[in-house]
Amino acid sequence: MRLPQKRAGLGTSVSAPVPPAASASEPGAGSGTGAVPRPPRRRSLRTLPLHLVLIAVGAVMAVPLLYAVLSGFKSTDQLSGNPVGLPDPWVGANYTGILVSGDFWRLVGNSTLIATATALIVVAVSALAAFSFARFAFRGREVLFTLFTMGLMFPFAVAALPLFLLLRSMNLLDNPLGVILPQAAFGLPMTIIILRGFFRQIPGELEEAATLDGCSPFGFFWRVLLPMARPALGTVSVLAVVTSWNNFFLPLLVFTDDTWWTIPIGVQQFQGQYSADTARVFAYLVLAMVPALAFYSVAERQLVGGLTAGATKG
Amino acid sequence: MASTFLPDKRTGPETDLSPPPTSAARGRRRRRARHWLTAVGFQVPALVLFGVLVLLPILFAVYAAFFRWGGFGMPSDFVGGDNFVRLFQDPVFLGDLWRCFLLVALSLVLQLPFALALAVALNQRVRGRAVYRMLFFAPYVLSEAITGVLFAMIFAPGEGLADELLGKVGLEGLGGEWFADPDMVMATLFLVMTWKYFGFHMMLHLAGLQSIPKELTEAALIDGAGPWQRFRNVTLPLLAPTLRISIFLSVIGAIQLFDLVWVITQGGPDHHSETMAVTMFQYGFKRYQVGYASAISVVMFGISLVFALAYQRFVLRRDLEGATTTMRGGGK
């Protein structure tokens, strides 16, 4: 995520206002401009503690992940004899063994299907509601909106038990819909709030023009608003996908047999099943992390933007 | 917000003072009714989904909490408030409440200041800050189940990475049973939660910091305020709304904490890491005391509701007071 230069200068490390030419800190660029005095050594000395702190925190964040990756390349015997060092020799069997078995891919497929369906439903349904909240004045609007925003305060765990009973009575246990629909329902408040904020920013003139051209409200929504709202739709879809992908509680309740298990359930089961074969569990963990981390690296902007926007507007 | 789908006039509930119905007025009323139907029509799918799968279960939990019920058929053995009485005499549940409070307190005292400090650090021009930001936030996108299994293995007594590293630097004494030690399990759990969640709070604070107009800190700088004064008197007050959200999310997170605990300890050893959600799960899904488990759900719901309302009212008023006193102080 790149930020514009002007935002970067809130620092406390510079004690005097620095001319813009000097504040552009491309490595090696400042050496030629002798006109602007800059004390580079003093600055780097001052930021040294900051760098040390950042490196230390970064290490604490990264080491567990690296440890898992490396441990996956060891055999379990090697892991108990040499837990910290590099693998010697590197063993690929843990990873390849999991990748060639169909089980892992079935979990990936299930997670993908459930996440995609959840995102589609929650975004479609929320977009309609957010459109109505943002562009119509009607009696009961504020009551309805408050109802949805209150949904943000309900921890999912509160509804889990009766929800399970309801799904059981609707014969939705061991059915992907039993996870997809509740996930979509619990995603509504956040999605509606974000989309409503976005829809309100679209100028009213567009709407007037569309109406004069004979556009119905739905026509305006479908042909004008949705195409314009593509960035916001992207953000809320990414949020819905990640939330669904990581959900553990609901699939744990709904899927009693392994046909529809998702990755988080699979991880827990795999650990139970191979608890003695530690290196293999590490390999499994790493492979289970890859999709989420890859998705994060591609959609970082939408994910972070959506999470902060959703939290601050809620 | 300009909108063309408004009815002819903004109409409140008091518009029945209209003149006797002429045909024009009747037409207007019909148009207004159609307008209302269109507006609400867009809400129907969301209302159905939300009503059936969110509101209905919560209402049903409130109902079922007053019965002794195994979860099959309809509840019929009405016991009044007995489940709640039993709940508040149950040492495990009282422990859940205590542990919830403990986690909230630790989050507020340790995790949030830590996240804020790093947000301030990364709000400066530091080499590699994009990388740091990405790295600090990365654990947040991992599933709690994966995080839980990973740290259960890292903190495996004697053989995990934690004990190995402590041994390497000569601090074996600090190692131990971690999740298996009743006195250490909550501290270890809090470490894992900080690893996983502080990056999210940091991102929130970072977004808050970037929305503060630079002119304000620059003005303070010109007035001769030092770095700490600028932070304490300019940045921090302006960041208050963000911090409030951060606190709110920490509390809600602590109330419903389930995944991590279930994957790592299942509430053990001997209930020492159990949370309300875990207790609810145990009774509802393992022991089939669904009425009792519903009572736990209701208490969780009540706590979040009371907290959200009280907090909003109390803190909002304080924010307002702060703003007015500051203005008065600045006026002289």
Query: B320 or A15, which is more confident?
Result: B320
CA–CA gap between residue A229 and residue A221 (Å, rounded): 10
Confidence of residue B93 (pLDDT cuts 50, 70, 90): very high
CA–CA gap between residue B225 and residue B64 (Å, rounded): 60
Decide if B57 touches A, using CB distance below 8 A: yes
pLDDT at B12: 42
pLDDT at B7: 47
Amino acid symbol at A105 = W
Q: What is the mean pLDDT of residues B38-55?
A: 90
Q: What is the mean pLDDT of residues A173-193?
A: 92
Confidence of residue B21 (pLDDT cuts 50, 70, 90): low
CA–CA gap between residue A221 and residue A50 (Å, rounded): 49
Amino acid symbol at B141 = V
Residue of A nearest to B279 (CA): A157
Greatest C-alpha distance within chain A:
78
For chain B, domain boundaries: 83-143+184-323
**3-state DSSP percent of chain B in helix, strand and coil, to 5:** 75, 0, 25
Decide if B261 touches A, using CB distance below 8 A: no
Decide if A46 touches B, using CB distance below 8 A: no
CB-count exposure of residue B241 (10 Å: 0-12, 13-18, 19+)? middle
ipTM greater than 0.90: no
Lowest mean pLDDT among A47-61, A158-172, B165-179: B165-179
Confidence of residue A4 (pLDDT cuts 50, 70, 90): very low
pLDDT at B111: 93
The alpha carbon dihedral of B173, B174, B180, B181 has a sign of positive
Q: What is the mean pLDDT of residues B85-95?
A: 92
Residues of B with CB below 8 A from A53's CB? 121
pLDDT in tens, A213-258: 888 888 888 888 888 888 889 889 988 998 999 999 999 999 988 8
Decide if A214 touches B, using CB distance below 8 A: no
Q: What is the mean pLDDT of residues B68-80?
A: 83
Query: Does residue B192 register a pLDDT over 90?
Result: yes
What is the signed CA dihedral for A24, A29, A35, A37, rounded to 10 degrees? 70
Query: Does residue B230 register a pLDDT over 60?
Result: yes
Decide if B207 touches A, using CB distance below 8 A: yes
Interfacial B residues in 135-174 facing A (CB < 8 Å): 135-139, 141-146, 148-154, 159-161, 164-165, 168
CB-count exposure of residue B168 (10 Å: 0-12, 13-18, 19+)? exposed
Cβ atoms within 10 Å, residue B270 = 10
Question: What domains are there in chain A, each with its CATH number?
Answer: 102-313 (1.10.3720.10)
Cβ contact A148:B50 at 8 Å? yes
Class of domain B83-143+184-323 (CATH, top level): mainly alpha
> Among B214, B125, B124, B218, which Cα is nearest to A24's?
B125
Residue-averaged pLDDT of chain A: 81
Structure tokens at A157: 């765990």
How far does B183 lie from chain A, in Å, by closest CA?
23
Residue B77 pairs with which residues in a beta bridge? Answer: B68
Angle at Cα B262 formed by Cα A64 and Cα A262, nearest 5°? 80
Q: CA-CA distances (angstroms) from residue A290 to A286, A293, A296, B138?
A: 6, 5, 10, 11
Query: B312 or B58, which is more confident?
Result: B58
Query: Does residue B158 register a pLDDT over 60?
Result: yes
